[in-house]
Amino acid sequence: MNEIRDAILADQLDALAGLEVPQSYRAVLVRKDEQDMFEGLPTKEKDPRKSLHVEEVATPELGPGEAIVAVMASSVNYNTVWTSIFEPVSTFGFLERYGRVSELTKKHDLPYHVVGSDLAGVVLRVGPGVNKWKPGDEVVAHCLSVELEDPAGHDDTMMDPQQRIWGFETNFGGLAELALVKSNQLMPKPAHLTWEEAAAPGLVNSTAYRQLVSRNGANMKQGDTVLIWGASGGLGSYATQMALNGGAIPVCVVSSPEKADIVRSMGAELVIDRSAEGYKFWKDEATQDPKEWQRFGKKIRELTGGEDVDIVFEHPGRETFGASVYVAKKGGTIITCASTTGYLHEYDNRYLWMNLKKILSSHFANYKEAWEANRLIDKGLIHPTLSKVYPMEEVGQATLDVHRNAHQGKVGVLTLAPTEGLGVKDAEKREKHLSAINRFRGV
């Protein structure tokens, strides 16, 4: 592995084709024999530092249409939190099901799950049938894994019945020294970014792009007012940037003055600190409080000069969904991609149908959408929101930060890269965007 790392660090990328792929590599994983370890504990007390391990694992066999990537850096997504606390289900069920699809997918069904749905690195080997990529290519990977044997996936690959999220519903993810991906997950690494910066946006940036911008999502247009929950978090920090540079008006919800400052520094003017306002949308576990929805709606109108929001960018789920449906404008759209606080949502349907509002769903992104989202990063129109970077050995702490909502933007993880700050190929472009790239650092 050292030879590979040294060749990359020395920028001798042509040499990689001549180097042997190691038989094993270090990876972040959860173990099947530990999947019940947190049984009976409340969600908040399930500690990823106990379930995530860094271990040496065997390199998987490279199949047709696949690539092995030397991973320089990766990042923590919320799906790593879910895998590490075995909620809402253990991800080993996904691996078992995938293993049953074909001879080639059997390799995914193992007693361990190598996690991670982002990477920045260099292609080491490609399998038969891969023509677009070659060893030595500097890449990032999006996390959509599809088989595409069914016609259903051919208009929009997210509709493939065999659609999976790599590193969550498949094995051999990006939080590791090597990763196995399908070649149609690969995209060029933006040259002005370091490895860890390039690895940060992938999953959340692509998801926010489909959810907010794509016509498969809310199809945001200039002048739309967009309520963004968790506006300084993983998804929200990209949605906020997309609203701003797409000519829309974000109303950013955050939970502290520091988070309010950071979204303001991105250019957002309308900001609600939900902690300071003390919203309590639920009186108790079973009863919502419509008065609190009204108070929230009034605050939005105060900020917007009396307007309601065209789009609600939803992901907290149960806790906020009733309020989200209430505050959307007549004819407006509530678009959801998640349920962090609970997946059984409740809302008052009268506000939906009488006001002709729409609830839409969104999930990750197809290759084209992920490519467009990566292109925005490459062009310096959207910037990584990396706040903190951990070495691979501390991935448990990195994941705990996200689990406890103690982070901002994205949390990065160094895998093969020995230090931060490496991998920049276009210093001039970097200089131009440096303050925006560094906006979240150290906050």
Residues that bind ligand NAP (CB under 6 A): 77-79, 203-204, 207, 229-230, 232-236, 253-255, 259, 274, 315-316, 319-320, 337-338, 340-341, 363-364, 402, 405
> What are the angstrom distances between the C-alpha of 101 and each of 109, 242, 339?
11, 37, 28
CB of 91 to ligand NAP, least distance (A): 13
Q: Indicate the residue among 5 and 264 with the shorter CB distance to ligand NAP.
A: 264
Q: Which residue has the tokens 């996200």?
A: 402
**Six token digits for residue 382:** 């959207």
CB of 346 to ligand NAP, least distance (A): 14
The full DSSP string for 126-163 is E-TT--S--TT-EEEE--EE----SGGGGS-GGG-TT-
Asked whether 323 and 345 are in contact (CB, 8 A), the reply is no
Exposure b/e, 229-263, CB count within 10 A at least 16 = b? bbbbbbbbbbbbbbbbebebbbbbbbbeeebbebb
Q: Indicate the residue among 161 and 257 with the shorter CB distance to ligand NAP.
A: 257
Q: Indicate the residue among 22 and 174 with the shorter CB distance to ligand NAP.
A: 174
- Size (the chain), residues: 443
CB of 132 to ligand NAP, least distance (A): 25
**Six token digits for residue 383:** 């910037």
Q: How does strand 112-114 pair with strand 144-145?
A: unpaired
CB of 325 to ligand NAP, least distance (A): 15
* Pick from 81, 107, 237: nearest CA to 168: 81
Q: Indicate the residue among 293 and 364 with the shorter CB distance to ligand NAP.
A: 364
Distance (Å, whole) CA 188 – CA 141: 8
CB of 13 to ligand NAP, least distance (A): 31
CB of 233 to ligand NAP, least distance (A): 2
CB of 82 to ligand NAP, least distance (A): 6
Q: Give residue 302's identity as a one-letter amino acid code.
A: E
CB of 355 to ligand NAP, least distance (A): 23
Q: Indicate the residue among 124 and 235 with the shorter CB distance to ligand NAP.
A: 235
Q: Indicate the residue among 25 and 238 with the shorter CB distance to ligand NAP.
A: 238
* Pick from 242, 264, 204: nearest CA to 252: 264
Q: Indicate the residue among 25 and 296 with the shorter CB distance to ligand NAP.
A: 296
CB of 188 to ligand NAP, least distance (A): 22
Q: Indicate the residue among 26 and 315 with the shorter CB distance to ligand NAP.
A: 315
CB of 14 to ligand NAP, least distance (A): 36
Instruction: Report the 10 Å Cβ neighbour count for 155.
Output: 10
Q: How does strand 186-188 pair with strand 138-141?
A: antiparallel
Handedness of CA 384, 388, 391, 393 (dihedral sign): negative
Q: Indicate the residue among 51 and 77 with the shorter CB distance to ligand NAP.
A: 77
In the chain, the largest separation of any two C-alpha atoms, in whole Å, equals 67
Q: How does strand 225-228 pair with strand 309-314?
A: parallel
Spatial strand order in the sheet of 112-114: 53-58, 24-31, 112-114
CB of 168 to ligand NAP, least distance (A): 9
Q: Indicate the residue among 237 and 415 with the shorter CB distance to ligand NAP.
A: 237
> What are the angstrom distances between the C-alpha of 333 and each of 249, 273, 299?
15, 23, 19
Cis peptide before 128 (omega within 30 of 0): no
Q: Indicate the residue among 16 and 199 with the shorter CB distance to ligand NAP.
A: 199
Instruction: Report the 10 Å Cβ neighbour count for 264.
Output: 14
Distance (Å, whole) CA 336 – CA 316: 9
